[in-house]
Amino acid sequence: VKETSFWHSQAHMGRVKHAEVVIERGEGAYIWTEDGHRLLDAPASLWHCNVGHGRASIREAVSSQMERLETYMTFDRYANRPALDLCERIVALAPLGEDAKVILGSGGSDAVDAAAKLSRRYWTAVGRPAKRVIVGREKSYHGLHAFGTTIGGLPANRVGYGDLMPDVVHTSPTDWRDVEALFEEVGAERLAAFFCEPVIGTGGVIFPGDEYLREVRRLCREYEVLFVADEVITGFGRCGAWFASERFGLEPDMLLFAKGVTSGYLPLGGIVVAPHVAEPFWREDGESFRQGITYSGHATACAAAHANLDILADEDLLARVDGLEAELESALRPLEALEGVLEVRAGTGLLGGVHVADAAMAAAVVSAMWDRGVLMRTIAEGDVLQVSPPFIVTAEELRSLGAALAESIDAAVPAAA
Ligand SMILES: Cc1ncc(COP(=O)(O)O)c(C=O)c1O
């Protein structure tokens, strides 16, 4: 047989080409493979299918938008109604004030790269072009475009490219004193922006704690550094509030979103920009920010977002996430007593991680979970199991997931030993 032509994302194709899993159908919190296997979607795909699979109202919104206008470019003076209304809606939900502005793009990596450019462009526009240094955190993930690859703190993603973007440095994801020391060393006159996932996702589901977030936010004010909250995972309800920035009182200068804005039904992402950052570009005698892609403000993607936000509101799914936070934690916490489990991470909405001894053990758990009807994936260095189900998951399903994980971990310990 001819091997696949599809080059999978972040995959070792030498192995994957003989082991592709074809997903054919989804409904609620479950997906089905082409050969009929039914699986609980424990990671909600890539942390994005928040309202669950197969939502008719999103499908209908997409179809009816396409009947009128699939999309039209939004360069220069052009706009479309779904994009205009979506920006108003996001500004009303996000904690950046009613005069915030929204840049729309195609997804998370795209938002990260645009935000990195805007942070430098902003300091140039206000007459301080030496402020160019962008600070990222070890273990963080900001997508895989050029800036995001550089700002992210997962070294494996940076191997083999030579020099990436200049003037990017890294600091501790959990110790704010390290951030302070770095800010002091680089100096306010050179610092442009600090990129921060309120809860690190792909790096292993790491909540740095209220004190870290409060102190890095304070340091950013003190050293005049733009605080960029990367809410690609946490945005639109995953932490039980519309945005983690609101839950943790972050007041970001820019807030990045993607995934949950459409629950992944269509590709969409963007940046909410605080009024003071937008101001040099919105004045009548201001400058242009020469950013934008063909699909910025894609009308049909925006229609999908509206239908998705309607579901979140109508079904009160944020309150549901808030209630399920404790259920997820009590389903996972007992695993900490098992051999081979180093740490259970939970307590920030529907975001959980189980850190096990090593990647071999985690892979054995994933395989054992498959046999128990649960699709799981590993993150960080392959040694953390991701648990971030759709918001419609039930407490009962979370308990079963915890029980299946306990059995699978027990079965995997000898395999790893
Ligand atoms: C925090 C964060 N930022 C950015 C990205 C990149 O988003 P995308 O894969 O849509 O480009 C991701 C993706 O997982 C993410 O988790």
Q: Is 205 in the pocket of ligand 1 (CB under 6 A)?
A: no
Q: Is 108 in the pocket of ligand 1 (CB under 6 A)?
A: yes
pLDDT at residue 417, as a whole number: 56
Whole-number CA gyration radius for the chain: 21
Q: Does 126 have pLDDT greater than 60? A: yes
Q: Ligand 1 centroid vs 142 CA: distance in angstroms?
A: 5
Q: Does 416 have pLDDT greater than 70? A: no
Q: Is 141 in the pocket of ligand 1 (CB under 6 A)?
A: yes
Q: Does 352 have pLDDT greater than 60? A: yes
Q: Does 415 have pLDDT greater than 80? A: no
Q: Ligand 1 centroid vs 349 CA: distance in angstroms?
A: 18
pLDDT band at residue 414, thresholds of 50, 70 and 90? low
Give residue-wise pLDDT tens across range 42-61: 999 999 999 999 999 999 99
Q: Could you please report the per-residue DSSP string of 154-189?
A: -GGGGTTS-S-SSSEEEE-SS-HHHHHHHHHHH-TT
Which amino acid is it at 143? G
Give residue-wise pLDDT tens across range 203-214: 999 999 999 999
Q: Ligand 1 centroid vs 381 CA: distance in angstroms?
A: 17
Give residue-wise pLDDT tens across range 316-346: 999 999 999 999 999 999 999 999 999 999 9
Q: Residue 260 carries which DSSP code?
A: G
pLDDT at residue 354, as a whole number: 98
Mutate to test the pocket of ligand 1, among 109, 236, 257, 271 (most ligand atoms within 8 A of CB): 109
Please state, in angstroms and rounded to a whole number, the distance separating the CA atoms of residues 151 and 154: 9
- Measured by CA distance, the residue closest to atom 3 of ligand 1 is 142
Please state, in angstroms and rounded to a whole number, the distance separating the CA atoms of residues 252 and 334: 35
- Asked whether 328 and 250 are in contact (CB, 8 A), the reply is no
Q: Which of 154, 151, 235 is nearest to 199 (CA)?
A: 235
pLDDT at residue 249, as a whole number: 97
Mean pLDDT of the chain: 97
Q: Which of 95, 45, 39, 28 is nearest to 386 (CA)?
A: 45
Give residue-wise pLDDT tens across range 144-157: 999 999 999 999 99
Q: Could you please report the per-residue DSSP string of 54-90?
A: --HHHHHHHHHHHHH-S----STT---HHHHHHHHHH
Q: Is 107 in the pocket of ligand 1 (CB under 6 A)?
A: yes
pLDDT at residue 372, as a whole number: 98
pLDDT at residue 57, as a whole number: 98
Q: Ligand 1 centroid vs 306 CA: distance in angstroms?
A: 21
pLDDT at residue 58, as a whole number: 99
pLDDT at residue 155, as a whole number: 93
Taking the chain, what is the end-to-end CA distance rounded to the nearest angstrom?
A: 37
> What tokens were used for 397?
């399903």
Residue 198: CB atoms within 10 Å: 25
Query: Under DSSP, is residue 243 helix (H, G, I), strand (E, B) or coil?
Result: coil
- Measured by CA distance, the residue closest to atom 5 of ligand 1 is 143
pLDDT band at residue 2, thresholds of 50, 70 and 90? confident
- Asked whether 318 and 241 are in contact (CB, 8 A), the reply is yes
- Asked whether 141 and 203 are in contact (CB, 8 A), the reply is yes
Give residue-wise pLDDT tens across range 196-239: 999 999 999 999 999 999 999 999 999 999 999 999 999 999 99
Q: Residue 53 carries which DSSP code?
A: B
Q: Ligand 1 centroid vs 130 CA: distance in angstroms?
A: 28
pLDDT at residue 46, as a whole number: 98
Give residue-wise pLDDT tens across range 360-397: 999 999 999 999 999 999 999 999 999 999 999 999 99
Give residue-wise pLDDT tens across range 247-293: 999 999 999 999 999 999 999 999 999 999 999 999 999 999 999 99
Q: Ligand 1 centroid vs 318 CA: distance in angstroms?
A: 21
> What tokens were used for 24?
């054919």
